[in-house]
Chain A
Amino acid sequence: MSFLEFLETRSSDMVELGLEHAGVVALSVLLATIIGVTLGIATYQNARARGTVLAVTGAILTIPSFALFILLLGPLGLGWPPTVVALTLYGLMPVVRNTITGLRGVDPAVLEAAKGMGLSRRQRLLRIELPLAWPVIITGIRVTTLVLLGITAIAAIINGPGYGDLIFTGLARVGTPVAVNLVLAGALGVMILAVLFDLLFYTARKLTTSKGIQ
């Protein structure tokens, strides 16, 4: 059976696994964004706090995903919960880093002007700093998404959702004709999702960036 015929017979599988894969990544990216942007806002003004949060989130990203999934297996069991927790942890670093870089990149003169106009600390953050830092932050979220799409493939080891299932099923059938098709389908699925998410972020960045800085 050729690869295209294989994809045709498995098309409903491909769509279902794709939705799972995209879903678990989207959920984890959302959580990582909420936590990461909050951490970034809380620490960007203090050199020591900033250094610590970047070192810790960077160290998390260094832990091999296979190891982290297994360590979470004990407390969280199989399937979605350990997958979402691990992916969220992995997703923090690019978001935190870009939030801090973005907020620190805001021109001090602009902040001075906002202060002079009588804006409170909170108003300055919400109306001046975050909108100006947003293009950098959303780039961090995009990097996080691409990283997590790849890591999700390994979550199949702990019965996690997504295209990893096809890859590991292929591995289990090594030597049979269907094995190559299974693995190729899994890899192709992840690549297609990567391209789709990238287009999504390209559009989202254009739509959500303040008109003044486009």
Chain B
Amino acid sequence: MSTQAPPTAHPERAASSSPGLSHYVVMPVVLGLSLLALYIYVSLQELDSIEQRSLNAARLTRAVWEHVQLTGVSTALTLLIAIPLGILLTRPFTRRIRPYIVTVLTVLQAVPTIAILVLLAVAFLFLGFAAAIVGLVLYAIVPVLLNTMVGLEQVDKSVLEAGRGMGMSRSTVLQKIELPLAIPVMLAGIRTALVINVGTAALVTYINAGGLGDIIVAGLSTNRITVQIVGAALTAILALLIDYLAGLIEEALRPRGL
């Protein structure tokens, strides 16, 4: 789930200038039909008592809500840490250590997400919601940080010179010129982080932190295929929905004129 710095998960979408209606309609329709198919598939089955324990509205709603919370909280914390850090690491006084940091971050991205989560559990006996958030944030910081740095560094230096020449202070240049120009690349990194988090949140069931992974694992441990499929399909649908919504927000936030 890790993508390298400049090629982020969805660059081509950034290039589309005036997308047609199908661009907005296809994904919700596909997801709606998938949900409907899943519902029909389950209602055609005779559920035994074990299956009923997992496949009821209360249990499923709770799992989805936990999953959304895990994703939302971890992504928000990721942004709070990674964006200021990215800004700090592109200021002139950090120039000498910058290449080392980028190398270290790129190597860290190769560590599987599951390893980070499990390591928190086995090394520090750190389990539950808080542990899951720490694991998710640790992993998702990398794409946001790298994209913030890349986004800020690709801003044309002569534009910054012009800003300084117009009498802007360094912090005004940052707010009025650098950040707006870096936003498209930064947004791509944020969306990557969101997708990583919603996917990894499916695994935090292994450290007792809930989410839709609970349903899948309940299906695996009781050998109930219907339960496994419902858990997996809901996880996939939720991830695609969140990515779709993030795409809409990404388009809305992109500064005009870029």
Binding site for B on A (CB under 8 A): 50-51, 54-55, 58-59, 61-68, 70-71, 73-74, 93-94, 97-98, 100, 139-140, 143, 146-147, 149-154, 157, 164, 167-168, 170-171, 173-175, 179-180, 182-184, 186-187, 190-191, 194-195
Residue B113 CB within 8 A of the other chain: yes
Of all chain B residues, the one with the shortest Cβ separation from A176 is: B122
Name the contact of B121 in the complex, choosing from A73, A146, A171 (C-beta under 8 A): A171
Main secondary structure of the interface of B (DSSP, over half): helix
- CB pair B122–A74 under 8 Å, yes or no, is no
* Chain A residues within an 8 Å CB radius of B199: 62-66
Q: Which 10 A-B pairs have the closest CB atoms?
A: A64-B199, A194-B110, A153-B112, A187-B115, A70-B232, A67-B235, A179-B122, A67-B232, A66-B202, A67-B236
Q: Counting CB contacts under 8 A, is B107 at the interface? A: yes
* Cβ B107 vs Cβ A195 within 8 A: yes
Give the interface centre of B206, B236, B240, B243 by most chain A CB atoms within 10 Å: B236
Q: Which residues of B contact A (CB under 8 A)?
A: 1-4, 7, 9-13, 16, 26-27, 107, 109-116, 118-119, 121-123, 125, 195, 198-200, 202-203, 206, 213, 216, 219-220, 225, 228-229, 231-233, 235-236, 239-240, 243
Q: Is the CB of B110 within 8 A of A149?
A: yes
A187, B111: Cβ atoms under 8 Å?
yes
Q: Are B216 and A151 in contact (CB under 8 A)?
A: no
Contact: A97 with B113, CB < 8 Å? no
**Closest residue of chain B to A178, judged by CB?**
B122
A151 lies within 8 A of B1 (CB): yes
Q: Is the CB of A183 within 8 A of B122?
A: yes
Q: Are A63 and B111 in contact (CB under 8 A)?
A: no
Q: A71-B232, A98-B7 known; A164 and B240 CB under 8 Å?
A: no
Q: In the complex the two chains form, what is the Cα distance from A95 to B158 in whole Å?
A: 34
Does B111 lie within 8 Å of A70, measured CB to CB? no
A61 CA to B202 CA, complexed, in Å: 15
Candidates A70, A171, A186; contact of B206 at CB < 8 Å? A171
B203 — nearest CB in chain A belongs to which residue? A66
A151 / chain B contacts, CB cutoff of 8 Å: 1, 112
The answer to whether A63 touches B239, judged by C-beta atoms less than 8 angstroms apart, is yes
Q: How far is the CB of A160 from chain B (nearest CB, A)?
A: 12
Complex Cα distance, B116 from A184, in Å, reads 9
Which residue of chain B has the shortest Cβ distance to A182 in the bound complex? B122
Instruction: Count chain A CB atoms within 10 A of each CB in B111, B122, B125, B202 and give the residue with the most.
Output: B122
Query: Nearest-CB distance from B80 to chain A (Å)?
Result: 24
